[in-house]
Amino acid sequence: MTINGNGEKKAIYPGSFDPFTNGHLDIVQRSLKTFDHITLVVAAAAHKKSWFTVEERVAMIREVFDENPQVSVDSSSGLIMDYARENHAQAVIRGLRSPSDFEYEYMMASMNKNLNPDCETFFMMTSQGLYFVSSSMIRELHRYHGDVSPYVPSPVFERMQKKRTQKKGRTDAV
């Protein structure tokens, strides 16, 4: 892996993070054992209906990593390989929860390698106790007033509760 001009190993971790979960947190914490700096890139995916706005997700994740200078948060609506090139990232981190995730991620990594040959994709399996946690499952559990606090960092949980209060009375709040 080529190290950037500062001698720093930089990676990006793209995703919709709607909401950011303990599974995402686990991937970041473990990735920091390999990389000096990780930028979480919140995707502004036009094809997905988001619960939190991009700005809300960026703010929420920044709050989670407020005390960690090795982690930054940004957003992008373009190709992730363009973002990686422009920000001198040598790697893209992708989390895998199940074998079915691998096929899609493998195809994406292959395309990304063609778009930016200087950037590697690192797959990380989610820790065993978190493999079933996904943002969509968290939203669904929260919609039906299930306790999501074991599955999301506390700043995320607080924002989820606040959003529920703001949308009280609406069945499509999540």
Q: In what order do the strands lie in the sheet with 10-15?
A: 71-76, 37-43, 10-15, 91-96, 120-125
Give the fold, CATH level 3, of 10-166: Rossmann fold (3.40.50)
Residue 98 is a catalytic residue: no
pLDDT, position 129: 87
Predicted TM-score of the model (pTM): 0.89
Domain residue ranges of the chain, discontinuous segments joined by + = 10-166
Q: Of 10, 16, 24, 76, which is the active-site residue?
A: 24
Q: Of 30, 37, 88, 97, which is the active-site residue?
A: 97
Residue 24 is a catalytic residue: yes
- In this prediction, what percent of the chain has a pLDDT beyond 70? 90
Which amino acid would we find at residue 141? L
Please classify residue 52 by burial: count the beta carbons closer than 10 Å to its beta carbon, then call 0-12 exposed, 13-18 middle and 19+ buried.
buried
Mean pLDDT of 141-145: 91
Q: Of 31, 94, 135, 159, which is the active-site residue?
A: 135
Residue 77 is a catalytic residue: no
